[in-house]
Amino acid sequence: MSESLIAITMPKWGLAMKEGAILQWLKNEGDEVKKGETLVEIETDKVVNEMESPEDGKLLKKCIETDIRVPVGSLIAVYGNESISDEEIEKFISEFNENFVVEDDEAAGEANKYEKIMLGDIEINFSNIGEEKEKNILFIHGFGGDLNNWMFNQEELSKDYNTFAIDLPGHGQSSKNVTDGSLKNMAKIINDFCSKNNISKINLVGHSYGAGIAIQAACDFKDLIESLTLISPIGLGKEIDDSYLEDFITSESRRDLKPVLEKLYANSEIITRDMVNEVLSYKRIDGVENSLKIMKDQISKSNTQHNELKDQLNALEIPVSIIWGKNDNIIPSNHTEKLNEKISIQIIENCGHMAHTEYASKVNEIIKSTN
């Protein structure tokens, strides 16, 4: 097999993804493509998103038509240099396809599916990928989210790290009991989670409310936390769009919830009916609405945040990166002002509250550089 040929395959975005289809090619055969440039638009059961080129190279051949569903890992394109003959490309493709085995759900799929752990009377659902790696990363989602929010990050970073993503209490498939929902108590859950998994050092990646929890954990458990990557964190300023939190809690139908979720993104077209349905099925579980109200009360009232974490964050002696979408509708990106100059700040253009979804590769690079 020619070493100068590179196989570009259908990515796996989240544990649940089994298939994807190309909606649109954003590059043509013959184009030089830089790593990080958008290559194709891919549709899964859950989401439509752009896939960025994983490598530099010349797009020699598109291997599948648009709108055809193929399993994760299938060959979608071949990169290489111009000197390679068509025969060689064809041979490369046929060899790839001969050796390609669709991941068996029952075996591989189930093996790295969700795990559960009891912390006192609270059951925590989590996923752990990359166990053999040395450095640990823990992803903490935001208010109303779950570990699947990291579908574009965890799998990718598991190539270099032992990655954990948890469902916070009151979220996903964890217990719906959130006690008082305070950052202190949630930070303690993070510490307990690490102890129970025998983790002595960990890098935290937190989003929004989860980023607030990460800051709190770094302050309360200094020996445990090695670094922080914070995406649109709470606690660094007063302003917050309360109506987002309130509407998130009270919206009962797909029609009501969709515009609420659209606030999260700069490009709201990313919201599919399936995404809305997933959030709705979570919200419809007994006890969730009440938990969300409790947590919301810990976050803000009348468009004013309760938690002030800036001083504590400035006092930390570990590496800290902050990532913020310039178009964040929920918490404004100017909260990055007056931070300790050791803290790395990245404001991303055309990006909303969900930088880790909208600009996944960029966020992944920043996470790597922080650790």
Partner 1 sequence: MSVKSYRDAINEALLQEMKKDENVVVMGEDVAGGAGTNGEQDAWGGVLGVTKGLLGHYGRERVIDTPITETAILGMASGAALTGLRPVAELMFVDFMGVCFDQILNQTAKFRYMFGGKAVTPVTIRTMYGGGLRAASQHSQCLYPMFTHVPGIKVVVPSCAYDAKGLLIQSIRDDDPVIYMEHKNLYDVTQEVPDESYTIPFGEANFTREGKDITFIGMGQTVGICNKVADKLKSEGKSATVLDLRTLSPLDEDSVLEAAEETGKVVIVDESYPRCNMATDLSALICQESFSSLKAPIKMVTPPHTPVPFSPPLEDLYLPSEEKVYNAAKEIL
Using CB under 8 A, pick the residue from 82, 98, 132, 286 that binds partner 1.
286
Give the DSSP letter string of 190-230. Answer: HHHHHHHTT-S-EEEEEETHHHHHHHHHHHH-TTTEEEEEE
CB of 366 to partner 1, least distance (A): 32
- Which one of 272, 290, 312, 329 is in contact with partner 1 (CB under 8 A)? 272
In the complex, the smallest distance separating the C-beta of residue 269 from partner 1, rounded to whole angstroms, is: 13
Amino acid 12 reads K
Of the listed pieces 129-137, 156-164, 250-258, 259-267, which binds partner 1 according to CB under 8 A?
250-258
Q: Which stretch binds partner 1 (CB under 8 A): 93-101, 207-215, 277-285, 323-331?
A: 277-285
Instruction: Check binding of 180 to partner 1 (CB under 8 A).
Output: no
- Amino acid in position 344: S
**Which member of 118, 287, 301, 342 binds partner 1 (CB under 8 A)?**
287
121, 132, 255, 341: residue in contact with partner 1 (rule CB under 8 A): 255
Instruction: Give Cα separations from 144 to 176, 223, 288, 293, 309 (angstroms).
Output: 12, 29, 9, 11, 21
Residue type, 3: E
Under rule CB under 8 A, how many of the chain's residues touch partner 1?
A: 21
**Is residue 277 at the binding interface for partner 1, with CB under 8 A as the rule?**
yes
Query: Measured over all CA atoms, what is the biggest interatomic distance in the chain, rounded to whole angstroms?
Result: 66
Query: According to the binding rule CB under 8 A, does residue 108 interact with partner 1?
Result: no
Would you count residue 281 as binding partner 1 (CB under 8 A)?
yes
Encoded tokens for 77: 């394109």
Q: What is the CA radius of gyration of the chain?
A: 21
- Using alpha carbons, list the distances in angstroms from residue 81 to 2, 33, 54: 11, 12, 16
Q: Which is nearer to partner 1, 43 or 156 (CB)?
A: 43
Q: Give me the DSSP letters along 91-138.
A: HHHHHHHHH--PPPIIIIIHHTS-EEEEETTEEEEEEEE-TT-SSEEE
> Does the protein bind partner 1 through residue 177 (CB under 8 A)?
no
Q: Yes or no: say if 233 and 321 are a contact pair by the CB < 8 Å rule.
A: no
Cβ(215)–Cβ(340) below 8 Å: no
H-run or E-run covering 163: strand 162-166
Nearest approach in angstroms of CB 285 to partner 1 is: 4
- With b for 16 or more beta-carbon neighbours within 10 A and e for fewer, the 355-370 pattern comes to bbbbbbbbbbebbeeb
Q: Which of 273, 317, 341, 349 is close enough to bind partner 1 by CB under 8 A?
A: 273
Residue of the chain from 28, 99, 253, 302 that contacts partner 1 (CB under 8 A): 253
Taking the complex as a whole, how short is the minimal distance between the CB of residue 335 and partner 1, in angstroms? 36
Of these, 90, 115, 252, 365, which contacts partner 1 (CB under 8 A)?
252
Return the structure tokens found at 247: 């509407």
Of the pair 118, 285, the CB lying nearest partner 1 is at: 285
Shortest gap between Cβ of 288 and partner 1 (angstroms)?
Answer: 8
Q: How far is the CB of 82 from partner 1 (least distance, A)?
A: 31
236 vs 288, beta carbon nearer partner 1: 288
* Residue choice 159, 201, 238, 254 for contact with partner 1 (CB under 8 A): 254
Applying CB under 8 A, which of residues 32, 55, 131, 274 lies at the interface with partner 1? 274
- Counting Cβ atoms within 10 Å, is residue 1 exposed (0-12), middle (13-18) or buried (19+)? exposed
Least spacing, CB of residue 334 vs partner 1, in Å: 37
Residues in 43-72 at the binding interface with partner 1, rule: CB under 8 A: 65, 67-69
Beta 69-71 vs 19-25: how paired, if at all? antiparallel
Return the structure tokens found at 304: 């004013």
Would you tell me which residues interact with partner 1 (CB under 8 A)?
A: 21, 65, 67-69, 114, 173, 176, 252-255, 272-274, 277, 281, 284-287
